[in-house]
Structure 1
Amino acid sequence: MLRTFRTRQQLGRSPAPKLNLVSLMDIFTILVFFLLLNSGDVEVLPADPAIFLPSATASQQPGQNPVIRVNADGVTLGTGFAINIAGVRAAGSTIPGLVSELTTLKPGMADTDRGLPVTIMGDRAVPYDVLKKVIATCAAADFTDVSLAVNQVASVPAPSAGATTGQVAQR
């Protein structure tokens, strides 16, 4: 009786499960292709050591737009246009040279329902009146879809109702 019990146990045992490497390789191949295809979606604006961008939480990635750089030295456009801060302040409500440079870029760009897109990289120490004049100049040249470049930081969760912080928010 003991012998028949042991033979039944041995017959009922299945061999140890083996790892199927073909399926595992398929999964890793698909994962590699997925990561390669999705890694090209990130666009990084060219770094300018003379511009220190303000920090903010940004949810949208910048597109392929003309980039206007504004720092303590002046305003520059990728086409070679440059004007110093004194020239910006001396100009009227718009900067004439920047309007003409932006107008030359118009034929190669696709117009959207919000207007032509432009990105402004403004140093955080640039006075507001200079930045306002650059934005008004962009609007005068029909570049009304204005994006301001910032350093992206993680969003900070709101503190709970009972928590106290050292910062005071004014509205």
Structure 2
Amino acid sequence: MKQSLRAKRMAKHHRRMNQAPKLNLVSLMDIFTILVFFLLVNSSDVEVLQTDKSIKLPASVSDIVPENNLVVMVSAEDIVVAGQRVGSVASVLASTEDKYAPLETELKYQASKARPLTEEEKLTGRPVTIMGDQTIPYALLKKIMATCAAADYRDISLAVSQTAVSDDAQGAEG
């Protein structure tokens, strides 16, 4: 007996519905490949400085990203250069000199381990980032900056936590 077109179509539909479903992996692999490339491209712009729990950085709206260079961390109690403790904040504040000798010695030692300066760097000095707690006094920061300059680290950057620009600040700028 001959089947009608409708009966053939219904039989074909029932056969298709009784089969196990198949998973198309090609499109899934395409999505994951695009996701991996997106993460690789966008992760290179992020610069994270290793911070100490005892240091709370001041807030800023600066858009300039610091370079990866020597870091001088100043907490409420200690001064640390490249992970090495060089002195206490109390001893720096108690000193009457404009510079702090142990910090200058450590900075000169770090400079001796680094590559030679280029002609441009000879004019600007070696780069250094000072990561100071927001509660440290200005006199301490001034002594640390003077010590860095004396040790030929004159390209000084201050580490801050980036915050969004408020509407009031944008109105004042424009």
Q: Give the TM-score taking structure 1 as reference length.
A: 0.70
Q: Deviations over 1:73-108 (max 9, x none)?
A: 132212523211221121511011111111111131
- In structure 1, C-alpha distance between the alignment counterparts of 2:76 and 2:89, rounded to whole Å: 7
Trace 1:88-99 onto structure 2 (pairs within 5 A). 88-89=92-93, 90-99=95-104
Q: CA deviation at 1:31?
A: 6.0
Q: Does 1:147 align with 2:157?
A: yes
- In structure 2, C-alpha distance between the alignment counterparts of 1:158 and 1:38, rounded to whole Å: 30
Structure 2 counterpart of 1:61, from 58, 62, 65: 65
Q: Deviations over 1:113-161 (max 9, x none)?
A: 5221111111111011001000000000010111111110011234798
Q: 1:35 to 1:95 in 2, by over 3 A?
A: same
- In structure 1, C-alpha distance between the alignment counterparts of 2:161 and 2:32, rounded to whole Å: 34
Identity across matched positions, percent: 45
Q: Note if contact 2:78-2:85 (Cα within 8 Å) is conserved in structure 1.
A: no
Aligned residues: 142
Aligned to 2:40: 36
What is the alpha-carbon root mean square deviation over aligned residues? 2.8
Trace 1:45-124 onto structure 2 (pairs within 5 A). 45-89=49-93, 90-107=95-112, 108-109=114-115, 111=117, 112=121, 113-124=123-134
Q: Note if contact 2:107-2:151 (Cα within 8 Å) is conserved in structure 1.
A: yes
Unmatched tracts of structure 1, length 5 or more: 1-21, 162-168
Q: 1:29 to 1:68 in 2, by over 3 A?
A: same
Which has more helix, going by share of residues? 2
- In structure 2, C-alpha distance between the alignment counterparts of 1:80 and 1:159, rounded to whole Å: 39
Aligned to 1:7: none
Structure 1 counterpart of 2:148, from 110, 134, 138: 138
Q: Note if contact 2:78-2:87 (Cα within 8 Å) is conserved in structure 1.
A: yes
The one-letter code sitting in structure 2 at the alignment partner of 1:137 is: T
- In structure 2, C-alpha distance between the alignment counterparts of 1:159 and 1:129, rounded to whole Å: 28
- In structure 2, C-alpha distance between the alignment counterparts of 1:23 and 1:41, rounded to whole Å: 29
Q: 1:159 to 1:104 in 2, by over 3 A?
A: closer
